[in-house]
């Protein structure tokens, strides 16, 4: 309820600065213009960058979707889950099974239904949501850390199923993933061929746009959820279950919904992961994947949708970029000595997690917020409430985000 304490300071300032409404200052245009520029940049990106960056972009887009989903659950609802890797696997495997064809290599044969990829994708998302919903009664009974470790179990059970259910998952070696097509327009090959401004649009370019659309969609949906009634309910529930239920929030139902939505995001992210790698294997969905996603949202800032996206870019993009520039970067060596690219990235974000929790619990989003605040209120008279130690990191983002929302009602 820090809103109340902040409100007087926030409303007095514009009233004092001008008699009557000052109308739109140039500052109120900064945000939409900035968004427009970024969008334009993302749209023309394939014209100027090669396939490596486009493929990295698609992989990162997949991670963004997954991170946003996990953030809804952990950051906003306060349910620690280490099962994200499992839900990614459900999505990836469902898509591959539904849209894949029968076949196999070696002595493993896999079956598939061969349905259109878009149907496969939608159904995969729904199936993953269902899996989340099935887990939610167990999850609903558990609190905090017990839930964290219980969800850990899901990852190991998932690994076992992936290794054993060969006809669907391809077993230990995995299976290849069918390309994505939409009404005859293929995202996995250059069919039908076309080019824009002399740049041929092949797989990488097409996947880039697919990733862009899905990630943006995921972003917008999550923001809308959080800024409306369900979002408020979830955050109240996180801060105090008792208070939430007193206010008329059906705690169990909302927890279940949070699991449903979060695992649907994970399902989509799994499908995108499968598409970007081109094959699925059990080792791609182990415990470490769950930890990676947790790293993303912690780095980005628990509870912030934009933060989750930033964290995903950092954690998912870093190893790929390291790999690419292995021979230029110091310490990161390819064959002779030095660290492997993946290892270097792991050290970095392991360290980053510790530093973020210790010094900036609101993560990258907190940095951005602080920077913006300083610009908005020159003179150093920042009326930022001191963050007390006992508040969760999610709450503190909340504190700093509310006034920002209130201040641009136009």
Binds other proteins by CB under 8 A, chosen from 19, 26, 106, 145 = 145
Query: Of the two residues 179 and 241, which places its CB atom closer to other proteins in the complex?
Result: 241
326 DSSP 8-state letter: T
**Quick one: residue 23, left, alpha or beta (phi over 0 = left, psi -120 to 50 = alpha)?**
left
Using CB under 8 A as the binding rule, the residues of this chain from 373 to 392 that contact other proteins are 389-392
Closest listed residue to residue 321, CA positions, set 299, 347, 341? 341
Q: Cβ neighbours of residue 212 under 8 Å, at least 6 residues apart? A: 42, 43, 57, 61
Query: Of the two residues 218 and 299, which places its CB atom closer to other proteins in the complex?
Result: 299
Q: Cβ neighbours of residue 52 under 8 Å, at least 6 residues apart? A: 324
Element (H, E) at 67: helix 51-71
331 touches other proteins by CB under 8 A: no
Query: Of the two residues 91 and 158, which places its CB atom closer to other proteins in the complex?
Result: 158
Using CB under 8 A as the binding rule, the residues of this chain from 286 to 315 that contact other proteins are 287, 291, 294-295, 298
Residue 52-91 contact track with other proteins, rule CB under 8 A, x = bound: ----------------------x---x-x-----------
Q: Is 326 exposed, middle or buried (0-12, 13-18, 19+ CB in 10 A)?
A: middle
202 touches other proteins by CB under 8 A: no
CA 172, chain centre distance (Å):
27
Using CB under 8 A as the binding rule, the residues of this chain from 228 to 267 that contact other proteins are 241-242, 246
Query: Of the two residues 59 and 291, which places its CB atom closer to other proteins in the complex?
Result: 291
Total number of residues binding other proteins (CB under 8 A)? 51
Q: Cβ neighbours of residue 98 under 8 Å, at least 6 residues apart? A: 112, 113, 115, 119, 120, 123, 124
Binds other proteins by CB under 8 A, chosen from 41, 52, 146, 371 = 146
CA distance linking residue 297 with residue 307, whole number of Å: 7
160 touches other proteins by CB under 8 A: yes
339 touches other proteins by CB under 8 A: yes
Q: Residues in the site for other proteins, rule: CB under 8 A?
A: 74, 78, 80, 138, 141-146, 148-150, 152-154, 156-157, 159-161, 163-165, 241-242, 246, 287, 291, 294-295, 298, 339-340, 343, 346-347, 349-354, 357-358, 361, 389-393
């Amino acid at each position: 309820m820090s809103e109340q304490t902040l409100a007087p300071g926030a409303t007095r300032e514009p009233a004092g600065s001008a008699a009557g409404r000052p109308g739109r200052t140039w500052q109120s245009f900064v945000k939409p213009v900035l968004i427009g520029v970024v969008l334009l940049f993302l749209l023309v990106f394939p014209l100027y960058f090669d396939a490596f960056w486009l493929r990295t972009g698609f992989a990162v887009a997949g991670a963004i979707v997954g991170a946003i989903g996990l953030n809804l659950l952990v950051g906003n609802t306060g349910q620690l889950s280490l099962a994200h890797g499992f839900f990614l696997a459900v999505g990836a495997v469902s898509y591959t099974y539904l849209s894949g064809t029968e076949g196999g290599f070696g002595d493993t044969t896999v079956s598939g239904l061969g349905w259109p990829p878009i149907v496969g994708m939608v159904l995969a998302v729904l199936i993953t949501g269902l899996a989340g919903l099935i887990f939610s009664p167990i999850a609903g009974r558990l609190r905090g850390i017990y839930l964290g470790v219980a969800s850990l179990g899901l990852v190991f059970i998932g690994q076992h199923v992936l290794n054993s259910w060969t006809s669907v998952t391809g077993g230990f070696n995995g299976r290849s993933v069918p390309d994505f097509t939409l009404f005859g327009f293929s995202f996995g090959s250059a069919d039908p061929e076309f080019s824009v401004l002399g740049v041929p649009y092949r797989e990488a370019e097409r996947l880039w746009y697919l990733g862009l659309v899905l990630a943006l969609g995921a972003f917008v949906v999550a923001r809308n959820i959080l800024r409306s009634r369900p979002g408020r309910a979830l955050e109240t529930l996180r801060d105090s279950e008792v208070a939430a239920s007193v206010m008329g929030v059906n705690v169990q139902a909302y927890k279940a919904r949070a699991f449903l939505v979060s695992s649907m995001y994970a399902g989509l992210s799994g499908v995108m992961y499968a598409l970007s790698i081109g094959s699925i294997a059990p080792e791609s969905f182990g415990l470490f994947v769950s930890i990676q996603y947790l790293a993303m949202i912690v780095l980005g800032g628990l509870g912030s949708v934009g933060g989750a996206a930033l964290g995903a870019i950092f954690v998912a993009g870093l190893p790929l970029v390291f790999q690419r520039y292995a021979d230029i970067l110091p310490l990161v060596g390819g064959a002779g000595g030095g660290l492997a690219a993946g290892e270097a990235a792991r050290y970095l974000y392991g360290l980053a997690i510790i530093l973020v929790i210790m010094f900036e619990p609101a993560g990258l989003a907190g940095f951005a917020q602080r920077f913006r605040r300083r610009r908005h209120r020159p003179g150093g008279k920042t009326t930022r409430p001191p963050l007390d130690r006992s508040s969760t990191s999610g709450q503190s983002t909340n504190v700093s985000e509310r006034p920002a929302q209130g201040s641009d009602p136009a």
